[in-house]
Structure 1
Amino acid sequence: MEWKDRKVLVTGGAGFLGSNLCHALAGHGARVTALDGFLFGGGANPANLDGANVDLVRADIREVDLRPICEGVDVIFNLAAQTSHMGGQKDPLADIAVNAVAQVRLIQAVREAAPTAVVVHASTRQFYGRPLHLPVDEAHPVNPPDANGVSKFAGEQYWMIEHRTAGRPVVSLRLTNCYGPRLRIRDARQTFLGIWIRCVLERKPFEVWGGAQLRDMTYVDDVTEAFLAAAATPECHGKVYNIGGSPPASLLEIAELMQAVAGPDATFTTREFPADRASIDIGSYHADDSAFRAATGWAPGVSLEDGIRRSLDWYRPRLASYL
């Protein structure tokens, strides 16, 4: 797809993945609007859009009139979400309001204001629950382990119904653990690697819960390329795809790799899962993303070691803006 002068809306555009998309799209010459409500506890950060030639609309997707914002857009990258698993457990009504009800509001708005827009929806591997087999493909049963998984699955399915009933070109990408520049690192609300990065840069030990669980980590530049490829590939429309990353590694192996990259600044301890987290932990996970690779030619290009190194190097001079 030729992005120059395309009108693009990125919901959740000041967050981790959304802001990286905004930078990439603006770099390709697109006319980008970033919509973000800067919800408490989310990943939005004004610093995320520093240097990006985008229009920022600071508004809550649950409340704002979305039609003027969506008017005439060619592509929507839909990343507005409540992503905290514990946040969803503690306040499932707020979780549903963002991840499901607000998705219906957006669908209704784009029907009127952008009837031909392509939509790429950010989804999650979380609602597969504890895997029955590895790697996990798209045919794996859905069994959400927590409220956040339920609400995210509902939001995705509303978009897929929009494709089936209205013919809208929609693609949903079920993401795994994503990391890299602009990730929320003040705590672990986005991913465990965020708080690990903070601890390393502050020269404090980080905690590894369990340690044997396998994860496939996806560096944010690779995630961005996956979103762009999904929008640009008509064969993807109407489908859901898993997106993986580097070869799976255990949490303990990832911690040891962090140590190897960061040197003496990185120390860690291991502990059992806290009871409230153990009940929703899915154990080991890694994705079978061969369907998306076959459809688009996409493949992750950044190794876990290189991604950790790039992340630490990016945050060192910017740490104060992310705490």
Structure 2
Amino acid sequence: MRFRGKIVDVACLNHFTRVVTTISKLTKTCVLRLNPDKLFFVLSGKVANGGVGMWCELSQANFFDEYQMEGFNPENNEICLEVAPENLSRALKTVQNAKSVKVKLTKKHCPCLTVSAELPTMSSISRVVTHDVPVDVIPTRLWHELKEPSMPDFDVSIYLPPLKTIKNVVDRMKNLSNFLVIEANMNGKMNLKIETDLVSVSTHFRDLGNPPSGDGASQDGSPTRDPHSMAEVRVDIRKLQQFLVGQQVNPSKSMCNIVHQSVVHLILLHEDVSLQYFIPSVA
């Protein structure tokens, strides 16, 4: 079992660091899943039991100049590591001006992702900084829990307004309530609402557009939902705020799928990164 990657391009290093930093804001621990073509950051939260779920997918060729890995065996050519993304983020942030950065799976006092950076220097003597990020190797018998989550059979799919705008709204609402209702329809409308015994506040968005796949029709083409009908989910406002605060992916598209009174499925798409985040409803 081996893994070694090298990043030379500064823009790729900065982008990779932003992705890892985003993940670190969403969870204290997650699984880094490696295969020959892609990297995945996975949080297989039990959404049905109130936990959040996350699936972040990166194409290694868009980040690494060199990338080599060998899994447990040819039939399972993957490596799954439990890692604290904050530790990896911290290591990457300290080497942003490096001439090159190598990330390697090593065995020291425990399994580690070793981040080695060659830093620029005024002399002919190279200067190398090394960080060891402890990881746990996940045995193959547990890999079945790390599969990509299936796309929920949603009632509404809608494009999101600018995430910064949503963040500003949620930041204000969190001072009034611990819970927030997200509702939307297939006519491009979305509302964010809080209701307590003392106050009722709502923010309305219009003309957001709906992704083509969410056309409100069943597979045989027959309409299944009134486009003006609202689907809603009541969520823990802190979990939504956590998602918004940590976002550094700068997506080209951001979408929201709603399973009525069940789960909200947030999707951020960049040309070389996709991030899915699941927040369950609360009673």
Larger relative helix fraction:
1
**TM-score, scaled to structure 1:** 0.22
The structure with higher relative contact order (CA 8 Å, sep 6+) is 2
**TM-score, scaled to structure 2:** 0.24
- For the pair shown, the structure with the greater C-alpha radius of gyration is 2
Larger relative strand fraction:
2
